[in-house]
């Protein structure tokens, strides 16, 4: 069971963050509202929230997931692949240190948490524009030391996926939701695979939080598919975060 989540609201500088989405400038007030609804949904799923202050020095800092890898037993601070985001890690270290007495700090390479998807004791690691081989290899080593297994999935030829989790979610029950560009990849053999229709591809970034699945609003086919599988779905409007290449998973560190 997950019990905590770290969240940070978007700052006044949010619109100055990195994006490739071409969906227009985000409305910061609306993003704040959507963020609050996201926080309330996590609380509804039983999580206690650690709410950090907005940090205008880092426009992308609401996407806290990229700064760390957190498991039930251990945590690692990453080295985000975008130079403008590297400093975000400092603001997370002291908080995570309160929960994890031995916090590992990555020493080399780059790695964004958005490229790391945990499926029980196994981790999928995306090699992307943000996560390089050196960073991924360090993570593999650290995971193995801590009793986990890992496999790498190269998404560098898939510009529609900023991060691996842009197109991949693990729902528990040996079940993945994955973008059609990832369907059939040998790393995912043995899992049940739910592939959203191309027009619903954004919803491949959804999150299982205890007894619920959080899904972006506006993807009825996937919502019905998940409900038929027995999930209780909470939908959340993510329009302003999508404009900044963000999704549901990026907005929290859950442990
Ligand atoms: N705007 C999110 C990111 O580029 O990391």
Concatenate the DSSP letters of all residues of 126-141 into one string.
EE-SS--HHHHHHHHH
Paired tokens of 50: 């650690």
The CA distance from 131 to 125, in Å, is 9
Cα atoms found within 13 Å of the Cα of residue 102, Cβ hemisphere only: 5
Q: Are 51 and 42 in contact (CB under 8 A)?
A: no
Token pair, residue 112, equals 């964004």
Query: Does any ligand 1 atom lie closer than 6 A to the CB of residue 80?
Result: no
Assess whether the C-beta atom of 31 lies below 6 angstroms from ligand 1.
Answer: no
Distance 103 CA to ligand 1 centre (A): 24
Residue 86 Cβ inside 6 Å of ligand 1? The answer reads: no
Look at the alpha carbons of 247, 165, 205, 40 in this order and tell me if their dihedral is positive or negative.
negative
What's the pLDDT at 173? 95
Query: Which pLDDT value is given to residue 184?
Result: 87
Q: What are phi and psi of 129, to 5 degrees?
A: -65, -20
Torsion 174-242-152-157 (CA) sign? positive
**How far is residue 47's CA from residue 3's CA, in Å, rounded to a whole number?**
5
Q: Measuring CA to CA, how many Å separate 159 from each of 27, 58, 219, 241? A: 25, 24, 22, 18
19 CB near ligand 1 (under 6 Å)? yes
Q: Where are the domains of the chain?
A: 4-254
Residue 163 known to be catalytic? yes
| Distance separating alpha carbons of residues 130 and 44, to the nearest angstrom | 32
Helix (H, G, I), strand (E, B) or coil at 194: strand
Selecting from 3.30.830.10, 3.75.10.10, 3.40.50.720, 3.40.50.920, what CATH number does the domain 4-254 have? 3.75.10.10
Contact 211, 127 (CB under 8 A): no
Catalytic residue among 39, 163, 179, 206: 163
Neighbouring CB atoms inside 10 A of 182's CB total: 24
Query: 255, 70 in Cβ contact below 8 A?
Result: yes
The residue with tokens 């963020």 is 35
Expressed in angstroms and rounded, the spacing between residue 187 Cα and the centre of ligand 1 is 25
- CA 114 – ligand 1 centroid, Å: 10
Tens of pLDDT along the chain (255 residues)?
999 999 999 999 999 999 999 999 999 999 999 999 999 999 999 999 999 999 999 999 999 999 999 999 999 999 999 999 999 999 999 999 999 999 999 999 999 999 999 999 999 999 999 999 999 999 999 999 999 999 999 999 999 999 999 999 999 999 999 999 999 899 999 999 999 999 999 999 999 999 999 999 999 999 999 999 999 999 999 999 999 999 999 999 999
Instruction: In whole angstroms, give the CA distance from residue 89 to residue 80.
Output: 8
Cα 38 to Cα 60: distance, rounded to the nearest angstrom: 17
**199: Cβ–Cβ under 8 A, 6 or more apart, which residues?**
none
179 is catalytic: no
Structure tokens at 232: 């209780």
18 C-alpha to center of ligand 1: Å? Answer: 5
CB distance 250 to 88 below 8 Å: no
Q: CA 187, 192, 198, 202 torsion: positive or negative?
A: negative
């Amino acid at each position: 069971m997950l019990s905590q989540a770290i969240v940070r609201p978007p700052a006044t500088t949010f619109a100055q963050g990195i994006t490739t989405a071409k969906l227009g400038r985000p409305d910061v007030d609306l993003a704040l509202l959507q963020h609050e609804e996201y926080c309330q949904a996590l609380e509804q799923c039983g999580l206690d929230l650690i709410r950090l202050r907005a940090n205008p020095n880092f426009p992308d800092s609401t996407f806290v997931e990229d700064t760390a890898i957190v498991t039930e037993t251990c945590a690692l601070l990453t080295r985000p692949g975008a130079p403008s985001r590297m400093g975000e890690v400092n603001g997370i270290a002291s908080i995570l240190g309160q929960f994890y007495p031995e916090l590992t700090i990555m020493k080399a390479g780059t790695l964004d948490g958005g490229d790391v998807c945990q499926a029980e004791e196994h981790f999928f690691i995306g090699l992307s524009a943000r996560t390089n081989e050196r960073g991924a290899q360090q993570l593999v080593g650290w995971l193995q030391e801590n009793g986990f297994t890992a496999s790498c999935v190269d998404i560098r030829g898939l510009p529609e996926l900023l991060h691996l989790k842009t197109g991949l979610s693990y729902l528990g029950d040996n079940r993945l939701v994955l973008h059609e560009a990832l369907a059939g990849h040998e790393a995912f053999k043995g899992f049940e695979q739910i592939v959203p229709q191309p027009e619903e591809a954004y919803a491949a970034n959804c999150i299982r939080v205890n007894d619920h699945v959080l899904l972006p609003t506006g993807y009825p086919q996937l919502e019905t598919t998940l409900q038929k599988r027995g999930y209780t779905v909470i939908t959340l409007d993510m329009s302003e975060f999508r404009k900044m290449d963000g999704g549901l998973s990026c907005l929290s560190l859950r442990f």
